[in-house]
Structures are given as C-alpha cells and as structure tokens.
Amino acid sequence: MTALDGSDADILLEVDDLTVSYHMGMRRPPFRAVRDITFKVARGETVSIVGESGSGKSTIGGAILGLRAIESGSIRLQGEDITNAGIKRRRAIARHIQAVFQDPFSSLDPKLTIGESVAEPLTIGARPRRDETLRSVTETLGRVGIGADALRRFPAEFSGGQRQRVSIARSIIRTPELIVCDEAVSALDVSVQAQVINLLADLKADSGTSYLFISHNMAVVRHISDRVIVLYKGRIMEQGPAADVCDQPAHPYTRSLIAAVPVPNVAVQEQRRTARSLAAKPSVVAGDVQDGCPFAPRCPFARPACTTSGDVRLVGVGPGRSAACLRLDEVLRTASASPVIW
Amino acid sequence: MSSPVVADAQAKERFRTARAFARNPLGVAGLAFVLITSGCVVLAAQLAPYDPKAQDYSTVLSGPISAHPLGTDQLGRDILSRLLFGGRLTLLGVFEAVAVAFLIGVVLGLIAGFAGGQVDNLISRTADIVMAIPAIVILLMIYAITSNNPHYGMLALGLLSVPGICRVTRTATLAAKSETFIDVTRVIGMGRARIIFGHVLPNIWGPIIVNTSILAALTLGIQGGLNYLNLGVTPPDPSWGGMVSEAQQSLQLQPWLIVPSGLTLALTIMAFILIADAMRDATAAAGARSERPARRRKAAQPAGPVSERTAGPAVTAPGPVDGAASALLAVRSLSVAFGGQRVVQDVNLTVDTGETLGIVGESGCGKTVTASAILGSLGRTARVSGDVSFLGQNLLGVGRKARAQVRGKGIAYVSQDPMVALDPCFSVGSHLGEVVGRHDGLRAGARRARVSELLTMVGLPNPDDVAKKFPHELSGGMAQRVLIALALAGRPKLLIADEITTALDVTIQAEILDLLRSLRDETGMAMILITHDLGVVADICDRAAVMYAGQVVETAAAATVFLAPAHPYTQALIAANPIVAERGRPLASIPGSVPPPAQWPASCHFADRCLRVEPVCRSGPVAMSQAAGPGQTARCVLLNAGAEAFPVGLERPAKEGP
Amino acid sequence: MARVILLRFVSSVVLFILVPTVTFFVQTLTPGEVARSVLGIGATQEQIDAFNHRLGLDSPPLERYFDWLRHFSQGDLGNSYITGQPVSEILGSRIGVSMSLVIGALLVYSAVGIVIGVGSSVGGRVWGRVVDLVSTIGIAIPNFWLAVILISAFAVSLGVLPAIGYVPLSESPSGWLVSLILPVVALAFGGITSVAKQARDRMIATLDSPHTGVLRANGVSEASLVFKHALRNSAGPVITVLGLNFVGALSGSVVIENIFVLPGLGSQAITSTANRDLPVIQGIAVYFTVIVVVVNIIIDVIVPLLNPKVRRSS
C-alpha cells in the first residue's frame, strides 16, 4: 500500500483518458458513458470507484474486462497495452484480471455444477489433467468456505451469499493479480455482505491481490478501500486515499454523497441530517451541462463560471489526492467548519 | 467441456426440465400419441389390413364393421389402411417443414441475438418481411410448377416459417446474453462457439422446443388444408386432409367418413399443442428453482388480483380486540402461512397516531408479508390468523366493502421500485385524478386543482407539467414522489411504505426521507416503514421492530435499538454494518444466512447463528419479554441472564460457516 | 411514431417488389405449361408458338419481367392469359367476397375471443382451465374439417343454412348474411382461441403487476382495475394478435372459399394456379400483400396510441 497515485514502478493497471460511448440508435448521437478517466491501480491495492446510477462506474469495469468497446484512451496491464484486446489476447489477460459481478443469481450458469463453473477458467485454451483440476477446484472452494460436497451440486441449491463465494472462487482459481468487483456485495443482506467483505480482505492478505471495487455504497467503500475514485456522470470528481476522501471530502459532490448516507445511530444521524440541511442550497446553475462541471446544477457552491469555462480539470488537494472543482478553496473552508461525522 | 468434474455431475439435475415435463400427464400423453402415431405410420405396410388403393365395390361406405374397423369409402377402400398410409406423407411433410424452419431459424436467431448490431438488424428486418408474405399464394404456385410434388411445397412452407423460430431464438438468446454468466465467459476469454454451445444453447432450448411444437401443429393444419385441395398429394394416393375431402363427397350418404381422418388430424395437432404447453410449464418450473428469490420485489406478488374477487385469504379466529382502542393500528398474534408453511409467526405490533414504526430485517424475514397482511393484499392461498385492528375495527374480520373503505383513506401504501409501480398507459395526472375522484368525489377543475396540490405537496415543481407526463418519462425519484402523492390523496391516517428507497440512489433516498418527514409533520399521519437499512430506521422512525425468520425479535424506541440493542440478532445486525466497523478491521459478520421457513425450529430461530447460544435456547418456543429499556421487548431466553453483559460486539466469530 | 410508419412503408415497398418478383420467376420456370393448359393437350406446336407470341411469352423472361414491372408501377396488372380480361376487373369483382369473409371472421374472433379472455381472467382458476382446454381443442380442429362438420350439421342434417354459394350484398342483405355464417364461423374458430388466450394472459399479468397492487391499496376500485387499467394494458398485445390472425385468416380463406364455393380471391387463386394464369396469380399476390401491409400499418398506428411507453421506445 505504499504505492499511491504516482511514479511507483509497482503499478499493475493504468487507465489513461478512457472514454466509452454507447450507440443509442442510428440517428441519435452516441451517449458518452465515461470521459477522460485516468487512474492507476498498484499491486496489492484496493481502489474503489464509487458513484450513483448513471455515473458510468460499471462501464469502466466493463472496459477493463473487455466487455465494452473503448472509444479512446488506453488501458495498460503491467505496462502492456490491452486496449480493445481480441479474444486470443483476452485469454492471456484473463490469467491476470478476473471479475466478480453483482447478481449472485445470474453469475453462475444454472446448467453447470458448482465444480464445472469454478473449473471453467482452467479449461480455456488448455486441457488440464482431471485430478489436478479437481484438486485445484476443491482447494479453491475451500478457501472461500465452500465444502467439497458442493462440487456436484447446482447453483439453484445455494443461497445468494454462497453463490457469491462460488463466483469469488471462480475468479481466484487462476490467482489473478487484479479482481474487478462490480457491485460484488450490493445484492447481499448486511450479515452476508459482511462475510463476503471479510472474505475478500482475507484473500487479499493471503495472496496480495489488487481489487478494483466498483460500488454505490459509500460505507462499504470507506471500509474496504485504500484509494477511492468518486465518479459523477462519467467524470472523476475526486480521487485520493480512502480515509481522506471519505472523512474529509474535498469535492461538493463527495460531500453530498457522504452526507446522504443514513447512519444506524439516531443521535448521529440527527446531527448529520442537520448538517446536511444547513449545507443544502439550491444551485444557481440550471439545466443540463454540456461543458464544464456536470455537478454544477446540483451544487450549492456553483457559480456560473462552473459551466462556462470548459472542462473542469482535476487539481491536487493533498498527497495523492485531487478534485475537479473550480471552487475548491471555499469548499475546503466550509469543510473544515463542518467535518463529516460517521 | 473437458472438465473432469463434468463426469461426476448428477445428470438428473441437469435434465431438470425433462423431468418436469415427465411429471405432466397431458404432455406425456401428447408425446406418446405423436410417437405411437409415427410408429404406426412407419409400419403402415405391416399394420394395414388392406392395400390403401384397393377398391372393393361390394362394401362401399360401409361404416365401421368388423372387416373394416373404420369403414370404407365410396370406392370400397379400407379407411384404416388409407389412414395409416396417408399418415406417411402427412407426417413426413410436417417433419420436412419443421426441420427446415428449425435448423435455419435457430441458426439465424442465434446469430442475430448473439452478434447484435447491424447483423441483427438485417436478419430481423428480413424476418419481418418474410412473415408478411402471403404464404398460401407462394405454396399454390410451388405445387403448380412442381407438378404437385409433396416435398417441395412443405420445404417452402418450412422456409416461410423460419422467421417465427428465428424470432423466438433471438429473443431467448438476447435474454441469455444479458445474464452475468455470459459476461463471465467473455472475461475468462472463452471462444464464441463454446459460449454459444456451452452456455447459451443449453439455457434456451425450452422456448425453442415450445415454438417448434406449436409450429408442427400449425403446419399440420395448413398441410391438411392443402391436401384437402388435392395439393401435395394426388388422389388416389391417400392423405389425411385429402380423405376429409373424399368424405365430404359422400357426406349425405355416410357422414361417419369425416370422422376418422379429421379426428386423427385434430388429435395429432392437439398432441403437439399439449407437448408445447407441458414444455412451457416445465421450462417455467425449472427456471423458477434457479431464479433469484423475489428479493425486495415481493410486495406486488402477494397483492394478486385474486384476493379481491374471492372471499380473500382464509382467516381463523378473528376474536374480540382488547386494549387496542388507544392505538391507531394494533396487530395481535398475526401468523401467515402459505401451503402449510408459516412465513410469519405470532407478530404483535402497535402504531399510535402520528407515530413512525420501522420494521427492519434481512430478506426472507417476513417484513413484506406482514405489511401485506395489514393491507389485506395477500392472495387467497395465504392462511392468516390473529387480528389486525385499525381504529378498533378488526380488518381481518370485515367484509370486502368495509375493507375497501379503509384503502387509501385509512391506510395508504407506497411500494418499492417506483419505476414499475405506476400504470404505463396512464399519465401522472390521470393516476392522481382517479384516486382524487374516488376519495373526494371531485370533478374537472376542482379535481385538477387537488392533483396540483398533491404534486406540490410532494415537492414536485411545475405540477401541471408533471401531471401530463407518463410514468416512463419520470426519473426514479420523481416517480417515488408521484407514488407518495397518490398515497396522500385519501388523507390516510397510516402510510405503509415498503422499501421505498431501496431502488433509489443514496442522495435521492435522503430527499425522499426528508419529504416523508415533513409530510408526516404536516399531516400528522402515522407511518410504517419497511426497510433492510438500519440507517433509514435511525433517520426517520420513532420505534423499530426487528424481524428475524418470521418473528419480531425486538421492539424498542429507535434510539434504544441502536444504543442498547437487547436481542443478539439486533446486536449482530448493527455490528455487521460497515459504517460501524473500524476501517481495516474485519467486520463482525453473522455466520450463515437466514434459514428458509421449512428449517425454522420451534425454539429460537436465531440460535443456529447466535454467538451466545446455550442449550436452553433450543429447549422450546421463546416468548417476547421485557428488556432493559423503556418499552423495549425482545425474544431471547438469555435476556434476563444479563442483557447488559452483551455489548455491541465487534469481535469476529472464530469460524464462519459457508 | 412517424419513423415506425416510414420503416413499415419501406419494408412494404420491398414486399411489393419481392412477392410479385418471386411469383413471376417461380412461374416462368415452366414456360410451355401456360399454352398447354389454355389450348388443351391436343394443341400443335404451331398453335402453342402462336399463343406464346401473342402474349409475349416468347420473349426472354427478364424482358418480360421488366415489362411487367413497368406496367405494375403504373397500376396495371395486365390481362388474364385465359380470358383476356384485365386482372383488376377479374379480381375487383371478387375482392368484396373475400373481404366480407375475412373481415367477418375478424369481427367474430375479436369479439368472442376478447369476451372469453377478459371474462376468464377475472373468473378465477376454473374458468382459466376451461379456456385452456377449449383453446387447445380450438387450435386442434383444422378449419377445413370444421367447415365440413358445419356443413354436415347445419346444411345437410338440419337444413337451416346453405351448404355452399354466395349471395351478393346488393342482391339480398339477409341472403348475404346467411350465406356467410358458416364460412365465417369456420374461418374464425381458430382465431378465437389465440385471441382469448392472449387477452387472458395479458389481463392476468397486469392484474398481478406492482402498479395494480399500488392502485388497489390506495383505493382504486376493482372495476376500474379490470376494465380501465388491465384492459388498456392488454389492448396492444391483443391487437397485435388480432393482426397476426388476420394474416392467417387470409391464407385460410383460400381453403374456406373453395369448400363453400364462394367467388372470392381464394377460389380464383386455385383456378388460376391450375391454369398457370400468371397475371391473375400475380394480381392476387399483390392484393393479398396490400391487405397484409394495410393491416400492419393500422396496428403500427394503434398500438403506440394505446401504450405511450411503446410510443417512445419505437
């Protein structure tokens, strides 16, 4: 976790100026899901991308996993360009990058046994020996807390939490350096969610895996991450060490996102609510923003300049930390006056 | 698949659909009929008592007699023999047409669904055009130019039927492709062929087989019509359709003749339909097992239409209501069972005027079923006992009319997932206007004014513009506000809100909770909030009822629940929340997961997951008892054995079960 | 919406060109046949050549095709090989019969199907089973067999309705109606079941949907839920099925017209096919295509009007 955003040689994944668009039909303009996204993931690091629906957070994961076509920008894995890699390249990349997705009920093919699903990554482009595969699958399932009796059973027999464990087993069986977790714990109940979060932490401690953790849940992100990237409407609003971003947010959007999380404590929640309503102020900017800060129409700090002076670039606000806001000075002044209570 | 684990797989599970089909007697009968008929037809030469073309003028139009079990026609030919031989060309033709449609249709459908984009566009548009071709004209000509060849016509019919199979395959492929496990195969670098044959096809056979079977039925009908016109089969060669035509010529002399051929045709068609129906049911049944539980979408499901039209759920022992007069709503010993399986047990709740009660718990704990029982929206399969008394009236005992009186005016309801909770065919104004008209009897201008007022109340600027919008034009937050306006229309005394912020972004959730709070203060209505999020309870509720596995395990003032939770489940639930945990330390998770109703013990439901479980916990049913806080009750036998000794634990269980 | 209709129009144009083109080339694969079927088996080669020359059948197929296409684009469908009458004249007198039959069937299967479907959707499980059973039987009975049974029962045994024949509307409205009863019933029967099934499935789906639960819980009456909300939500899919059935009934009319000896397009199609009377067959193909296209456009217009969500997504 020494490698913060910067020059360290131990960079696993580099995403540069990534832009992904969706075609909305023949005569409609393409929709830019994310624009000019740049970030790095170091070995052994957990980087979270947090944002609300429509922020484009899953699109970034999809682009890295080869599920979305990249319009411009590049993605490098251990220095090697993997932008828009074809199926053959993907096979090689799959050794290094794996994924766990949100929905535990559609992540596993209902027609395959648990054993078959977990073994599948081993059988891509290879014909492993039967006993080796069996040993490897059993051992991996054991690591995620699933017994060997599950091998020959089908996903329908398992609960959401168990299926998510199986999905994790499938993702780690080839010991990848990076696992993209796209809302991997979002569909789970709190008690099961805690189990899976602990499991991910244990796996990281054992094998030094990096996670790109995509989530809408600020509380989970705060708990699990080394670094956090806050996304809004396809742009990075703020990024930096998790403790800084979550506990002393610099960007007005991050502040509103954190302030909106209800906390399970009546007294604290009341304080948070009061602070939130004091900070709430209608924006002076109206309508959709084409250029400039996309958050301006919802931002209490906004000025007309926020939407008229072109793209708002990320500027440094501390070690390894940056935010895209023209009014950072005032925001930070307010921030020190009313810190975030968790 | 070369994986060694494959060989060990239990095949019976894999053929779940086939087994579900085998349990359907009608489907099996249909399949048996088709197989037996095909067999008889193939063996016609062995089975037929006569040459199908042999004329015998001594017995014409005989009707069923021992020598001719199905009778003879006007030329004295044996009907049974003609039926058997006639089936050859008939069934062969159906096979030819269906095979062509199936092979080409499935391939094109897979390509269109899997490739998408322009390829899909081209295939789908072409299919649309072919579908609009008047097939009969083409067929007539094909028979004409091929000198009535029986095969070309059916092959052409197969080609013209390709679009139907193609469409079904494409739709099913698209659905399969949207499953996450297909994304996973791409992430691990699996080749296209293996994705299609290993993961897509095995999951889409159901609808394809259903539609192929229906196509076989339709083809039999069309082919019969053509044969009736002597197209495809030239007399004196027999065919089932042609035999109907022959029978018609002697309709006045021997009406029986139209029975054997027509009935055989009808029964064969029906067999294919039965196969299709059984296959459809089997696919649905097999799918239902592997589908996700209806997590956080359950509210709508028990609210089936049946409850209103029939006598409603069976209710036992309404009984007199005691001491409920003071409370707005008093739920006493409420139990709900589906098919003998109790899903809610002995729930007691009260809501006072103006009070907000939070019902909190994980999925599968019975929160939504409890709410549906209060709303009276459980289907008739539900067995409800206990009583639900609202303003002193036991709602479980009253008739339909009295119940309808309470809806909207007494108790109103806001559901989860606002995007599907409004009728897509009607505008916002139309929705609100209808309830306003019903509750206030207002018309025209007054009604519009009230609609505007309601929309303003829920914080929607430009209410008149919003009223003109249709549900699909609203964002999630706006739709949820409209739903709240809908619930407010009857000026309810109690609002039941079921996971109303679960589908929303956290910033929108905060806005909706603020709105509910101010509406509550304005109107003085009471609320029941059903949620899985303890933060929501802390934000807005006066009191909380924690549910676990069908039971209420703790009730207390909201502040007490978080500061001094009495029940080990409540404690564990709070501790498992990442907000509470220290960064970088493991979360205090609860081992295992909520057990399904069938596995609930008579004793403490939480005992198997409880870190403090003792033998006494498993000795028998646990009742609610008084805990330390004012008005705090909990369902735990260890409660009086030192509740104070239970801190909100952050320690981690030694061993997690799977 | 305009885009949908435009798209439909473009594909219709393709269809207009495609269907006659296919019929043309399929038919020209057997050039000598026409003359033979007109002149009889005993015709000499000279007679056949003269016949072919008179009708331009001796010119190359491609030339004839473009010739036909030119006339077609001007609305001229040519003349019958057999009678020399203009095709539009022959078919013009027959289209009324076919439309009476097909539209009559449409009315019957729509009305009966929707009533049964809606009724069974609110009638509980027993009604649902009954509709399922009747549907299966309904689909299973081929229309031509039903026609023969109907003739046997109502014309032969009871003698209350005519077995065959057609009375023009202009001659006797009541006779016209009576002459159409059996053909219309035979043609409509199969459609009733699919319409009823679709209506029932859509009604039940809507009545089970979250929005029905919300509206009911907030005081909307049961009558409004069924007859306003569920009916409106079901209308689009039901109308789509009505359209599909209409196209099916058009094909079915060929058989039914033959059984009941109705002088419509269908019976003409059989006769002309037997005679290789290409221009008439082409004409019938064009007429059928026009009817299908018109029906599709009507559906394209109506369905989005009923469901604004469809309006947007198209």
Same domain, A237 and A320: no
Surface of A (71-110) touching B: CB under 8 A = 87-88, 90-94, 97-99, 101-110
Count of all residues that appear for chain B in the document: 658
Cβ contacts (< 8 Å) between B145 and chain C: which residues? 26-27, 29-30, 33
Same domain, yes or no, for A88 and A131? no
Residue B301 pLDDT > 90: no
Please, which residues have CB within 8 angstroms of residue A55's CB and are 6 or more apart in sequence? A231, A232, A233, A234
Q: B190 — contact with chain C (CB < 8 Å)?
A: no
Interface test with B, best of C198, C218, C288, C290 (most B CBs within 10 A): C218
pLDDT beyond 70 at B193? yes
Give the model's confidence band at C314: pLDDT under 50 very low, under 70 low, under 90 confident, else very high. Answer: very low
Average pLDDT over residues A80-94: 90
Nearest Cα of chain C lies from the Cα of B232 at a distance, in angstroms, of 13
Q: Do C309 and B472 touch (CB under 8 A)?
A: yes
Q: Is residue C137 part of a domain?
A: yes
Q: How would residue B321 be classed by pLDDT, with cut points 50, 70 and 90?
A: very low
CA-closest candidate to residue C77, choices C224, C279, C284: C279
Q: Which residues of C fall within a CB distance of 8 Å from B304? A: 207-208
Across the interface, do B581 and A273 touch by the CB < 8 Å criterion?
Answer: no
Q: How far is B427 from chain C (nearest CA, A)?
A: 9
Three-state SS string across C217-274, please?
HCCCCHHHHHHHHHHHHHHHHHHHHHHHHHHHHHHHHHHHHHHCCCCCHHHHHHHHHH
Whether residue A133 is contained in a domain is answered as: yes
**B442 against A33, higher pLDDT:** A33
Task: Name the residue of chain A whose CA is nearest to B560's CA.
Answer: A266
Q: How confident is the model at residue A27 (pLDDT cuts 50, 70, 90)?
A: low
Based on the fold, state whether residues A230 and A311 are members of the same structural domain. no
What pLDDT band is residue B300 in, cutting at 50, 70 and 90? Answer: very low
pLDDT of residue B41: 92
CB of B441 closer than 8 Å to CB of B521? no
Are B413 and C296 an interchain contact pair (Cβ–Cβ within 8 Å)?
no
- Output A4 or A193, whichever has higher pLDDT: A193
Report the C-alpha gap between A284 and A303 in whole angstroms. Answer: 7
Q: What is the mean pLDDT of residues A131-143?
A: 94
User: Is A106 among the domain residues?
Assistant: no
So what's the pLDDT on residue B100? 97
**B285 or B440, higher pLDDT:** B440
Q: Starting from the edge strand earliest in sequence, which strands make up the sheet with A235-241, in order?
A: A97-100, A178-182, A210-215, A46-50, A227-232, A235-241, A321-323, A315-318
Residue A75 sits in the same domain as residue A185: yes
Q: Do B558 and A66 touch (CB under 8 A)?
A: no
Which chain B residue shows the shortest CA-CA distance from C305? B425
Do residues A163 and A269 both lie within one domain?
no
Looking at every residue in chain B, the average pLDDT score rounds to: 86
Indicate if A4 and A54 belong to the same structural domain: yes
Q: What pLDDT does C227 receive?
A: 92
Task: Give contacts of C 36-75 with B, CB under 8 A.
Answer: none
| Digit-coded pLDDT (tens) for C267-281 | 999 888 888 787 888
Summarised one tens digit per residue, pLDDT across range C250-307 is 989 999 999 999 999 999 998 888 887 878 888 888 888 888 888 888 888 888 888 8
- Answer yes or no: do C247 and B132 touch at CB < 8 A: yes
State which of A61-65, A275-279, C120-124 shows the largest mean pLDDT: A61-65
Chain-chain contact of B128 with C11 (C-beta, under 8 angstroms): yes
Q: The domain containing residue A211 runs over which residues? A: 1-96+178-192+204-247
Residues A78 and A14 both lie in one domain: yes
Which H, E and C letters describe C69-112, residue by residue? HHHHHCCCCCECCCCCCEHHHHHHHHHHHHHHHHHHHHHHHHHH
Picking from C145, C151, C226, C305 by the largest number of B CB atoms within 10 A of its own CB, the best residue to mutate is C145
* pLDDT tens per residue across span B565-607: 999 999 999 999 998 888 878 898 888 888 989 999 999 999 9
What pLDDT score does A277 carry? 84
> Residues A17, A47: one domain?
yes
Query: To the nearest whole angstrom, how far is the Cα of C157 from the nearest Cα of chain B?
Result: 8
Listed as own residue / partner, the contacts of B587-590 with beta carbons closer than 8 Å and 24 or more positions apart are B587/A194, B587/A197, B587/A198, B587/A223, B587/B652, B588/A194, B588/B649, B588/B650, B588/B651, B588/B652, B588/B653, B589/A191, B589/A192, B589/A194, B589/A195, B589/A197, B589/A198, B589/B652, B589/B653, B589/B656, B590/A191, B590/A194, B590/A195, B590/B653
Inter-chain contact A264–B577, Cβ cutoff 8 Å? Answer: yes
CATH number of the structural domain spanning residue A90: 3.40.50.300
Q: Assign B287 a pLDDT band (cuts: 50, 70, 90).
A: low
Q: Which chains touch C (3 or more CB pairs under 8 A)?
A: B
Distance from CA of B263 to the nearest CA of C (A): 8
Rounded to an integer, what distance in angstroms lies between the CA atom of residue B518 and that of residue B472? 27
- pTM of the predicted protein model: 0.87
- Residue C244 located in a structural domain: yes
Q: Residue B125 sits in a domain of what CATH number?
A: 1.10.3720.10
Task: Estimate the crossing angle of helix A266-279 against helix A252-260, to 10 degrees.
Answer: 150
- Which chain B residues contact residue C139 at CB under 8 A? 217, 269-270, 273
B residues 405-424 lying closer than 8 A (beta carbon) to C = 407-409, 411-415, 417, 420-424
Residue B324 has pLDDT above 50, yes or no: no
Inside any domain, residue A197: no
B-chain residues near A101 (CB < 8 A): 180, 183-184
Q: Tokens 């065959």 map to which residue?
A: C164
Query: C38 pLDDT exceeds 90?
Result: no
Given a cut of 60, whether residue C161 has pLDDT beyond it is yes
pLDDT tens column, A254-303? 999 999 999 999 999 999 998 888 888 888 887 777 778 999 998 989 98
Element (H, E) at C158: none
In whole angstroms, how far apart are CA C118 and each of A311, B173, C197, C236? 57, 32, 9, 14
CB contact under 8 A, A87 and B192: yes
Whether pLDDT at C160 is above 90: no
Cβ-count burial of C5 within 10 angstroms (0-12 exposed, 13-18 middle, 19+ buried)? middle
Residues in chain A closer than 8 A to B292 (CB atoms): 103-106, 160
Q: Which of A264-268, B3-7, B60-64, B313-317 has the lowest mean pLDDT?
A: B3-7
Report the pLDDT value the prediction gives residue B308, as an integer from 0 to 100: 38
Name which of A22, A57, A112 to mutate to probe chain B: the one with the most chain B Cβ atoms within 10 A of its Cβ.
A112
**Beta-carbon separation of B299 and C210 below 8 A:** yes
Residue C237 has pLDDT above 50, yes or no: yes
Contact of B470 with B424, CB cutoff 8 Å: yes
Cβ within 8 Å, pair A263-B538: yes
Q: Quick one: pLDDT band at residue B641, thresholds 50, 70, 90? A: low
Model confidence pLDDT, tens digit, residues B411-428: 999 998 898 999 999 999
pLDDT at B55: 86
Q: Does C183 touch chain B (CB under 8 A)?
A: no
* CB nearest to C26's CB, from B145, B304, B414: B145
Do residues A34 and A62 share a domain? yes
Q: How many domains does chain C have?
A: 1
Q: Do C214 and B375 touch (CB under 8 A)?
A: no
A238 Cα to chain B: minimum distance (Å): 17
One domain for residues A67 and A184? yes
Q: Give the least confident one: B189-203, B385-399, C9-23.
A: C9-23
Q: Is residue B478 part of a domain?
A: no
| Inter-chain touch C273–B472, beta carbons under 8 Å | no
- By the 8 A CB rule, do B238 and B78 touch? no
Within a domain: C37: no
Tally of domains in chain B: 1
Q: How much is the pLDDT for B13?
A: 57
pLDDT band at C84 (very low <50, low <70, confident <90, very high): confident
Range from C14-28, C54-68, C205-219 that averages highest in pLDDT: C205-219
Q: Which domain holds residue C112?
A: 95-263
B186: closest CA of chain C, how far (Å): 29
Question: Are both A161 and A145 inside the same structural domain?
Answer: yes
Amino acid at B541: C
A286 min Cα distance to partner chain B (Å): 14
Token pair belonging to C191? 């459609």
Q: What is the pLDDT of residue A26?
A: 62
Neighbours of chain B (3+ CB pairs under 8 A): A, C
| pLDDT (mean) for B511-539 | 94
Predicted confidence (pLDDT) at residue B357 exceeds the cutoff of 90: yes
Residue B220 carries which DSSP code?
H
Q: Do C140 and B273 touch (CB under 8 A)?
A: yes
Least confident of A35-44, A141-150, B574-583, B647-656: B647-656
Chain B contact present for A24, CB below 8 A: no
Q: CB distance B657–A67 less than 8 Å?
A: no
B36 in a domain, yes or no? yes
Answer yes or no: do A122 and A263 share one domain.
no
Count of CB pairs separated by less than 8 Å, A with B? 249
State the pLDDT at residue B15.
73
Tokens 């006072």 correspond to B352
Compare all CA atoms of chain C with the CA of B495 and give the residue at the minimum distance. Answer: C218
- Of B125, B137, B487, which has the smallest distance from its Cβ to C218's Cβ? B487
Find the mean pLDDT for residues B611-620. Answer: 90
Q: Could you give the CA distance from residue C299 to residue C301 in angstroms, rounded to a whole number?
A: 5
- Asked if residue B311 has pLDDT above 50, the reply is no
For residue B322, name the pLDDT band (cuts at 50, 70, 90): very low
Residue B655 pLDDT exceeds 80: no
Residue C50 within a domain: no
Question: For B80-138, what is each residue's pLDDT tens digit?
Answer: 999 999 999 999 999 999 999 999 999 999 999 998 888 998 999 889 888 878 788 88
Is B151 inside a domain boundary? Answer: yes
- Which chain A residues contact residue B186 at CB under 8 A? 65-67, 90
pLDDT band at residue B491 using 50, 70 and 90 as cut-offs = very high
Q: Do C142 and B414 touch (CB under 8 A)?
A: no
Q: What is the pLDDT of residue A4?
A: 46
- Confidence grade of residue B386 (pLDDT, cut at 50, 70, 90): very high
Q: How far B482 CA lies from chain C's nearest CA (Å)?
A: 12
For residue B611, tell me if it sits in a domain.
no
**Lowest mean pLDDT, pick from A281-285, B225-229, B271-275, B527-531:** A281-285
CATH at residue C176: 1.10.3720.10
Q: Which of B133-137, B179-183, B392-396 has the lowest mean pLDDT?
A: B133-137
Q: Which domain holds residue B102?
A: 10-50+71-288
Cβ count within 10 A of residue A313: 10
Domains held by chain A: number: 3
A16: β partners: A74
Confirm whether B133 is domain-assigned.
yes
